[in-house]
Amino acid sequence: MVQINDSPINNSSEDLLHRKDLAKYLADTIRTHDVTNSFSIAVCGKWGCGKTSFLNMVQSEFDDSEKVVFINYNPWIYTNQTDLTKEFFNTFLDTIDVRNNLIKKSKKVINAAQVGMKVVEPIFGSNAIFKQLKQYITLLSTDNTVTMSLKETRNRISDILKKTKYRFVVILDDMDRLERNEIVMLIKLVRTVADFPNVIYLLAYDEDIMSKALTTDLYAGGDYLHKLVNMSIDLPAIGDGFVPQQVMGHYKDVVGDLDERATRAILDSVSAIDTVREINLLFRRFISDYAVLRNRIDPVDLLVLDIIEVKDRDLYNTISDNRSALCNGRPDMEVPQRLEKLVSILFPRYLDVSAEISEGKRICDPKYVDGYF
């Protein structure tokens, strides 16, 4: 059974998009740039273009002997600025081995006290003072007040980082998937609260989405972003030959054959596909659809129809609603210009009512069209 792996790659040896040199350049920047103050680098690209894979490639350029430490911070599980900031600092402290040392010492004392209380409880368990003392020690074992305040934590981190020989690279991936208020919280955190020495921030996002989220009546979101980041890298689009090569390869693996008509249809339709994620989404859909429908459809038509469904679900539904009319001509329906070619591949009479229909279980044949939906 053909399987589609949608996981990010881990290193440059797996790179199919020719981004290895760009990853090396960014790694060299991380090694050499002045970090007396924090330095922010944006890695920009559309959803599904491979930002996470690229960040993994950058990390793979470093070995254990280098004094560069990566911190992957996931803000998804925090719902307010206090929690987000607090957990960010805690993550930082865990990484630089400060918080653990402080907490471990206090926990040893508390744990010892708890053990002692269990030993003497049979003797003094009914004593009112003993009960109060037990409650207090139990509270200490769970109360967050035994940890440092945010201000104390920030100052402690800053003092340590001024003296360290290490560079800390904080990766904030998928920022554009957060809600607007969460994005603003992260921006403030990076820009003001966590402006530490010897720290580099790698911020991965779709610039268009981030700009829209940050735009207000007072300022444009894009201008705000440009003030935030010190350096911006736009991931290059995938090469012209990559998409058809991948689609043809996957199609042949699933169907078992790649004839001239299939090759021509793929070459004419894959310009609609923009990212590796869309390729993977397409073939997860195509594999399941083909397994169920293979005996009553044409595989080339099914692939093109699945491309339309991946790119524009509304258009797919419109085609389904007008499928009988499309078999015989051009119904009154809206089709995005970019996808008109795909519709004409499926329904030749959409552009030419006198077009001949090739043999086979084509979607444009009224006898078979219902089998595709």
User: Does residue 134 surpass a pLDDT of 70?
Assistant: no
Residue 321 in tokens: 């609603």
- Of 370 and 193, the structure prediction assigns the larger pLDDT to 370
pTM: 0.75
Window from 3-7, 227-231, 244-248, 257-261 with minimum mean pLDDT: 3-7
What token pair was written down for 171?
Answer: 């990766």
Cα(250)–Cα(255) distance, integer angstroms: 9
Please give the CATH superfamily to which domain 12-96+164-234 belongs: P-loop containing nucleotide triphosphate hydrolases (3.40.50.300)
> What is the structure's pLDDT at 122?
56
Q: Cβ–Cβ contacts within 10 Å for residue 125, how many?
A: 11
* pLDDT higher than 70, residue 139: no
Structure tokens of 255? 């169907």
Query: What's residue 82's pLDDT?
Result: 65
Amino acid 102: pLDDT? 42
Of the listed ranges 128-137, 152-161, 165-174, 241-250, the one predicted with least confidence: 128-137
pLDDT above 50 for 64: yes
Q: What is the DSSP string of 302-330?
A: HHHHHHHHHH-HHHHHHHHHTHHHHTTS-
Note the pLDDT tens digit of each residue in 74-84.
Answer: 776 666 666 76
Give the C-alpha distances (Å, rounded to integers) separating 118 from 123, 127, 132, 225.
10, 14, 14, 57
The domain segmentation of the chain, as residue ranges, is: 12-96+164-234, 100-146, 242-372
Percent of the chain with pLDDT over 70: 82
Any bridge partners for residue 234, and if so which?
Answer: 44
